[in-house]
A and B are shown apart, each in its own frame.
Chain A
Amino acid sequence: MSEVQTSKQLLDHYAGQVYADAAAAKAAGTPVGWSTAIAPQEFFETMGLPLVYPENHSAVISARKRALGFLERAEAYGYHADICGYMRVNFGYLLEGAKGDADVPPAPVPDFVVCCNNYCTMIVKWYENLAKELGIPVFMIDMPYNPEGVVDEPRVRYIRAQFDRLVGQLEDLTGRPFDRDRFREVMEVSRENVRLWKRAFEIVSHVPSPANGFDFYNYLTLMVFMRGRPETTEVLRLWIREMEGKIARGEGPFRDAQERFRVMFDGIACWPQLAHTAKVFRSHGINITGSNYPDGWAVQYETGDLEGMARAYASVANNMSLERQVAKRVEIIRQGRCDGAVYHMNRSCKVMDFLTYEAQRRVFEETGAPYITFDGDQADPRVFVAAQFDTRVQALVEMMEARKGDGR
């Protein structure tokens, strides 16, 4: 890259590349995998096995308003419209022949799949079906749920043993030995990227915030796709520098509006209506300065520490008890200095919703930050009702105003 680029341009560049790179690798004879979004990619990165992330793929398709055709295709095949929209888009894409176009990234059909269930149980079924339908192996990395908020020793041993088994399986798949030095390098890069990712959260918390609305959800692509690569380090460093520059210049998130309110956005973005939700937020001067969702990729461990790595991956918030999920949200609201919270009741994602009501009551009790809930979906455009969203946001604004007026 010769000319000076912004982090957003670099992000778009790399994000635009990932599918083409995977397709090129596949064409050159390298096995390509499809993976769940928070799997220990370190092993695959070390082996030079490219991974594509169907959830990201479905999100892109949904944001570009192309989900409906795929959803209907999968439903006609027998997948109930109540099940995960990402999954339905993904099977719809496969059933349509896995072809890319201007809006649909060309994800190559995988040679193997990687399933880590540390944030979703349904996903095991999704990957089971992929393996069966495509006749390919599935690498299952099982991270049992932690109902009491502790990853106990038997769990760590179990996960650690699966890591060891995985190494052997990858050696068999590629016919090459697992390079421990390279593994340490990848761990080191991943660790640095996670550190930067956490650092970005801190910077976003500045008042006014230098980050705008759903920024985190955009940069997340890198954390999903390239958490173990130096390119991500490059983009995150640049993004952080840009944000620091904005802070130094006293600039807020919006060019055309003040940051009046700061909120936590809970759950996955409502991709099919991203533009609408962002516009409504901006019209009220609402900025998103915290979210439990991007936080999921802040998987922290020490280089070389496989037990620590097991514990970190198993501790993703969705895999944790109610209390831990509440504590995480309270931390996010405090760190992001949020005035309120917006909970996305994501119609086809049960894991994001089944604790929401109790969690939001408890989070409110601890923070006093008012909240609203709206109905939407991460992929299915048929769920969201603009009028409901608009009125609820209006109500939230009034609650936040009243609370600010109280001179809290």
Chain B
Amino acid sequence: MTERMRIEAILRELFEVAARPGVSVAKRAKRGKPLVGVLPYYAPEEIVHATGMLPVGVWGGTADISKANHYFPPFACPLVKSALELAIRGVYDGLAAMMVPCLCESLTFFGQNFRAARPDIPFVPVVHPQNRRSPEGVAYLRAEYQKVQARLEAIAGRKIAPGDLDSAIGIFNDHRRALRAFLEEAPRHPSLVLPGVRHAVVKSSYFMDRAEHAALVGELTRHLKGIPEGESGRGKKVVVTGIMAEPEGLMGLFEDVGLDVVADDLAQESRAFRTDVPDGGDPLERLARRWSLVEGCSLAFDPGKERNRILLELVRRSGARGLVVLMMQFCDPEEMDYPLYRKDFDAAGIPVLHLETEPRMSLEQARTRLQSFAEMI
């Protein structure tokens, strides 16, 4: 098989997983692994892995909302509304547990509403501290993770053996490195790794075993390095920021109007694996210290607004000509950050496109706006 064929085969496989997560996950469940649903953001998935269960990302979907309206008013963010809808409809019935971080109002109350609507699925909340860099913050989070561990062990019916958590951390760190390396290499192949493909490679990681995903992505990157750079200069380079590059079809619009995504600052993508679990100390403490190292995320207390600087640097370093903000509808954390980084971008003379996203948004309108942005930059 030529490099190119192998690249295409891997991309097809990952694209499939991202397009139909249910199928991929069901295949894994058949292998006997209990599945644990994991809501965003910064959940200690390593603990799930160490108990022999498979963490599966729960990021909502495009389902028509009817049953969730029984719990959430119309102005809850689509991510939690659709996740609850799917939960009530039975899509997550096979899950051994649902782990829910509480980093914003939507998630906090998703957890409570989920528990009310589906008392039969074990609920594992995680509440991160916001004074996350102080020793007391780390100590608190360590204790919180300890509670999570005890819960998950009870659910899995087995204790985490010494060394298991450290090795899970190793696997997840390797996976993070693999994804970062892929995203470094991807911009050199704009016609192969189109924006939709790039998104699918990352998104697929939420529905596969991390070691398996890291191996595939690692192989992909190696092959990409082995082929000549793709022709450049066709698309215009942009960076995307926000929560996620959804709904389906949104990234295809970038391709259509000639925008290349050279870097991202999405919570579902780069932000999720920008920060490794640090070395040293017992594993739960290491996991807790990862949260202290997170930078530039709307969900992590950031009094200096490092995000403004990080975002600006990302755009400059990647040679992008503009920033596209994929603003999830009704998302307080992201909406609160926007005016401040926008001000810095305006001052730096870097064009910004603000695009509000929701599962049933009009892609035609989005296309028009992306088109004029592409022409302008």
Contact = CB atoms under 8 A, between A and B. Distances in A.
Contact of A142 (B71, B76, B129, B332): B129
Contacts of A353: 73, 75
Nearest to B298: A125
A140 B301 contact: yes
Contacts of A350: 75-76, 105-106, 109, 332
Contact of B73 (A131, A165, A351, A357): A357
B303 A132 contact: yes
Contacts of B104: 121-122
Interface in A146-196: 146-148, 152-155, 157-158, 161-162, 165
A217 to B, nearest CB: 23
A322 B115 contact: yes
Given A77-B339, A162-B131, A122 B332 contact: yes
A117 B265 CA distance: 26
B140 interface: yes
Contact of B301 (A128, A133, A357): A128
Interface residues of A, number: 48
Contacts of B76: 350, 354
Which of B103, B143, B303, B330 has its CB near the most chain A CB atoms (within 10 A)?
B303
Contacts of A321: 112
B333 interface: yes
B136 A157 contact: yes
Contact of B108 (A79, A138, A147, A148): A147
Given A78-B342, A121-B108, A355 B113 contact: yes
A9 interface: no
A106 interface: no
Contact of B72 (A121, A125, A347, A354): A354
Nearest to B339: A78
A40 to B, nearest CB: 14
B130 A126 contact: no
A286 B35 CA distance: 52
A355 B108 CA distance: 10
B339 A154 contact: no
A132 B344 CA distance: 12
Contacts of A148: 125
A347 B112 contact: no
Nearest to A353: B73
Given A82-B75, A158-B136, A125 B109 contact: no
A142 B298 contact: no
B127 A144 contact: yes
A82 B330 contact: yes
A145 B102 contact: yes
A125 B103 CA distance: 12
Contacts of B280: none
B131 A147 contact: no
B137 interface: yes
A131 B70 contact: no
Contacts of B332: 82-84, 121-122, 125, 350
A79 B137 CA distance: 30
Contacts of A125: 298, 332-333, 336-337
B132 to A, nearest CB: 8
Contacts of A80: 327, 335, 338
A378 interface: no
Contact of A356 (B73, B131, B136, B298): B73
A358 B70 CA distance: 8
B301 A124 contact: yes
B136 A79 contact: no
A77 B14 CA distance: 41
A87 to B, nearest CB: 8
Interface in A71-120: 77-80, 82-84, 117, 120
Nearest to A158: B140
Interface of A: 77-80, 82-84, 117, 120-122, 124-126, 128-129, 131-133, 138, 140, 142, 144-148, 152-155, 157-158, 161-162, 165, 321-322, 345, 347, 350-351, 353-358
16 contacts: A80-B335, A120-B105, A121-B108, A122-B333, A124-B301, A128-B302, A132-B303, A140-B301, A142-B131, A144-B140, A147-B100, A147-B123, A147-B125, A351-B109, A354-B76, A354-B113
Closest 7 CB pairs of A and B: A78-B339, A154-B143, A354-B109, A161-B136, A125-B336, A158-B140, A147-B125
Given A142-B131, A351-B109, 17 more contacts: A78-B338, A78-B339, A78-B342, A83-B335, A121-B105, A121-B332, A128-B303, A142-B129, A144-B128, A145-B127, A157-B139, A161-B134, A351-B105, A355-B109, A358-B112, A358-B113, A358-B116
